[in-house]
Structure 1
Amino acid sequence: MHPLRDVLYAELHSRPFQVIPSPTRISYLAIMVGSEQKNAEHEHFRSLYSYFDGIPPEGDGACFEVDFGNFKIRRDKHLEFTSYMITHTPVDGSIGFFDQNALDCLPINWLSKIPGIVIAAFHVAVEDARTIPELDLALVKSHFEGMRLVGSRPQNGDAQVWTSFQLHSDGCGRFLIYNKNMSDSQLGRMVQRVVEIETYRLMALLALPMARRYSAELVNMDEQLAQITANLSDSTEPLDEQAILGELIDMAAWVEATRAKTSFRFSATKAYHELVLKRLNELKEDEVSGHLTITEFMTRRLTPAVRTCSTVGNHLESLSRRIDRVSDMMRTQVEMSIQSQNQQLLTSMDRRSKIQLAMQHTVEGLSVAAISYYSVGLLKFLIEAVYDKGVNFDKSLVIGLSVPLVVGGVWLATRRIHKRFLLLAKAREEKGE
């Protein structure tokens, strides 16, 4: 058996759909928890059991669903957030849909100390249209504090959903659902889809302020790069290549830093948007006359925001590639300039080497004359010594005849030494020394 076989089977059932009766009241919290807060959040959840004399679980899991008697709480762990869904069956049906909510079942001290940042908080009121009549539109609107409503009939008309997609006076969103012909299991699945749509659309919109902030900076960066490119292509005067390369390096550093900050957020926005579209398709909505459906509302409001994020992400990628191309062009231009300078330097060195060679030949000639002069002087001492010993010969003639012989000998010796050094240098060059 594969060691992960049991884990793979359990994964399919790690987040079971809830069975939700009608009527019921639901409160939902989605809390963004950082990596350093995850352990603290888990311990805080375990501390909830002590308020109701329960035994907390030892390990942490993807999903916990606990029945505390008068309410149920479900905790789900996701990649970026942890969600709490509290379900409570109302005792007094005469109280307004949102006057009492399921959060009232939780201890205030515990609720206020949950680690993390709340990104989604809303209440869901579920009523049974088979036992009580639906309210007319004016009364429904009063439960949403007079805000404009979005409504539809999901599951091919088996339910009626009303919402405003806005925050109300209690700082939470609101959903009103009438169950017309759905079982508790079907209702649980539909409520889960509605909850996920609201949560995922908020998570998808997290990147929008970031996209708007960097969009204006990208326009300025585009104009700066266009100006640099125009200067490179149109300028007839020498350019400060080092200064231009410095500007390009600063621009490239800013683009890469921005990509590092936005890449994950933009990718997450795309993923959350795809989940929203999938959940909307699963709702199978029918239109309520005169009102936008949830799908229409999301398509008109959420999709443009997601496209804005996608556009800014693509703009960053495009700007990065363009900066690379201009940088390559500048580097090529600098290399060509360096090669031209090297060529001029080599030409100058060649001229200097020819001058040095001419000077060397001159020095060699002078050296031959000097060595010959001193050699003749030494030879003169030798001739005079022989003459003084009584050997009879023409001293002046012998000294005069020795001069060309000495000069020729010195010249031959100098040339031989010169050839020897040339052969030694050539041998070393062939050996690669």
Structure 2
Amino acid sequence: MDAVDLRRTLSDELHARAFDNFSGSGRFIRFIYLVEGNADVIVEYVNKFLEREGQAPIPLSSKFSSFNLGHYSLDFERHTEFISVSFIQKYDSLLVGLSPDAYNARSVALPIEWAHASPGQIFHAIWLEVGGEPPDGLTEQKMLQLMQARAVAANQFSDGAAQVYFAFDIDAAGFSRVALFNKSMVASRLGRAVQRIVELETYRLLALLGFATVTEYGSKLDSITRHVGEITNELAEQIKQPDSHVEGMLSKLSAQAADLENIYSKASYRMAATKAYDSI
């Protein structure tokens, strides 16, 4: 690859993920599938769907593709550990509140069931609704009911031009719900805000994969620590004996070292990935 081709490749990688401008209201729904040696199977599943919709298939080398499918668009992203499929739907502006079909998979006319039926393992699903101004009398209890959550985090941004609400619980349909009430944010800025909110929620959960690894190996490490301590104490006593069994103790110590190395080899990649996701 010459210098020009390299620059073009890097530029395409940087600018391929264009923001979707939201001139009115709409929704952004993303499915994240973990890649566990079956990335090509997931891509093939998506390509069969695109073929039925009269679209060209996603090239094997493509990391990002976007398709206009009439009343919605489909975005595809391929990463080292996961593949994401997103549905973006836009409609006329709402003055107040969210669309009546917000978070209703049966009434939004999107291929939600198809996404759930993918051969890839769904790691996370995000449903973000973009609406108008917050309705009067919007209490914490009403937001908890709307978001199907035990707790909701809220914040204003862009000098109060918009409000965002996060539900960290997973709803009955398997989605993490986000609501964005737009007062006066322009389309381009609103599109960037939507994209960044979805990315934030995506990598928040991916970073927590490291917690599962720590939980899995934490008890094993405690056991190794305890056994090594016992072996070390016994080894110290054996050395003092004329008929010691030091070689037997050393073999036990080597076995514990092998177990520790095995845990390190399995956990080191996950810990490095967790740091990377946290940095993002």
Higher fraction of strand? 2
Query: What aligned pairs does 1:294-309 form with structure 2 within 5 A after superposition?
Result: none
Aligned to 2:39: 38
Q: Does 1:202 align with 2:205?
A: yes
Which amino acid is 1:87 matched to?
Answer: I
Which amino acid is 1:164 matched to?
Answer: A
Which amino acid is 1:126 matched to?
Answer: V
Query: What aligned pairs does 1:75-114 form with structure 2 within 5 A after superposition?
Result: 75-90=76-91, 95-100=100-105, 104-106=109-111, 108=113, 110-114=114-118
Aligned to 1:183: 186
**211, 226, 229: which one pairs with 1:223?**
226
Relative to structure 1, is the Cα distance of residues 58 and 94 closer, same or farther in structure 2, using a 3 angstrom cutoff? closer
Distance 1:103 1:253 in 2: 54
* CA positional deviation for 1:51: 2.9
TM-score by length of 2: 0.86
Distance 1:126 1:75 in 2: 21
Aligned to 1:264: 269
Which amino acid is 2:144 matched to?
Answer: K
Which amino acid is 1:201 matched to?
Answer: R
TM-score by length of 1: 0.57
Paired residues of 2:203 and 2:278 also in contact (CA < 8 A):
yes
Distance 2:63 2:50 in 1: 18
Aligned to 1:123: 127
Aligned to 1:281: none
Relative to structure 1, is the Cα distance of residues 227 and 55 closer, same or farther in structure 2, using a 3 angstrom cutoff? closer
Relative to structure 1, is the Cα distance of residues 274 and 196 closer, same or farther in structure 2, using a 3 angstrom cutoff? same
**Bigger relative contact order, structure 1 or 2, given CA contacts below 8 A and separation 6+?**
2
Relative to structure 1, is the Cα distance of residues 45 and 179 closer, same or farther in structure 2, using a 3 angstrom cutoff? same
Query: What aligned pairs does 1:120-159 form with structure 2 within 5 A after superposition?
Result: 120-129=124-133, 133=135, 136-137=138-139, 138-145=141-148, 147-159=150-162
For this pair of structures, how many residues does the alignment match?
271
Paired residues of 2:24 and 2:91 also in contact (CA < 8 A):
no
- Which string of whole-angstrom CA distances, capped at 9 and with x for unpartnered residues, describes residues 389-418 of structure 1? xxxxxxxxxxxxxxxxxxxxxxxxxxxxxx
Which amino acid is 1:15 matched to?
Answer: R
Query: What aligned pairs does 1:377-392 form with structure 2 within 5 A after superposition?
Result: none
Paired residues of 2:31 and 2:85 also in contact (CA < 8 A):
yes
Relative to structure 1, is the Cα distance of residues 54 and 102 closer, same or farther in structure 2, using a 3 angstrom cutoff? farther
Which amino acid is 2:131 matched to?
Answer: E
**27, 30, 42: which one pairs with 1:28?**
30
Q: Does 1:18 align with 2:20?
A: yes
Higher fraction of helix? 1
* CA positional deviation for 1:86: 0.5
Aligned to 2:249: 244
Relative to structure 1, is the Cα distance of residues 206 and 233 closer, same or farther in structure 2, using a 3 angstrom cutoff? same
Query: What aligned pairs does 1:267-306 form with structure 2 within 5 A after superposition?
Result: 267-275=272-280
Which secondary structure state, in structure 2, belongs to the residue aligned with residue 186 of structure 1?
Answer: helix
Distance 1:262 1:232 in 2: 30
Output the aligned Cα RMSD: 2.5
- Which string of whole-angstrom CA distances, capped at 9 and with x for unpartnered residues, describes residues 151-196 of structure 1? 1113342210112200112121101101122122211211122111
Aligned to 1:5: 7
* CA positional deviation for 1:14: 2.4
* CA positional deviation for 1:270: 1.4
Distance 2:117 2:24 in 1: 31
* CA positional deviation for 1:134: 5.3
Query: What aligned pairs does 1:352-363 form with structure 2 within 5 A after superposition?
Result: none
Aligned to 1:405: none
Unaligned runs of 5+ in 2: none
Mean CA deviation greater in 191-200 or 44-53: 44-53
Mean CA deviation greater in 112-121 or 72-81: 112-121
- Which string of whole-angstrom CA distances, capped at 9 and with x for unpartnered residues, describes residues 360-409 of structure 1? xxxxxxxxxxxxxxxxxxxxxxxxxxxxxxxxxxxxxxxxxxxxxxxxxx
Relative to structure 1, is the Cα distance of residues 8 and 89 closer, same or farther in structure 2, using a 3 angstrom cutoff? closer
Which amino acid is 2:67 matched to?
Answer: V
Relative to structure 1, is the Cα distance of residues 134 and 84 closer, same or farther in structure 2, using a 3 angstrom cutoff? farther
Distance 1:126 1:53 in 2: 29
* CA positional deviation for 1:15: 2.0
Unaligned runs of 5+ in 1: 276-433
Relative to structure 1, is the Cα distance of residues 219 and 114 closer, same or farther in structure 2, using a 3 angstrom cutoff? same
Which secondary structure state, in structure 2, belongs to the residue aligned with residue 162 of structure 1?
Answer: strand
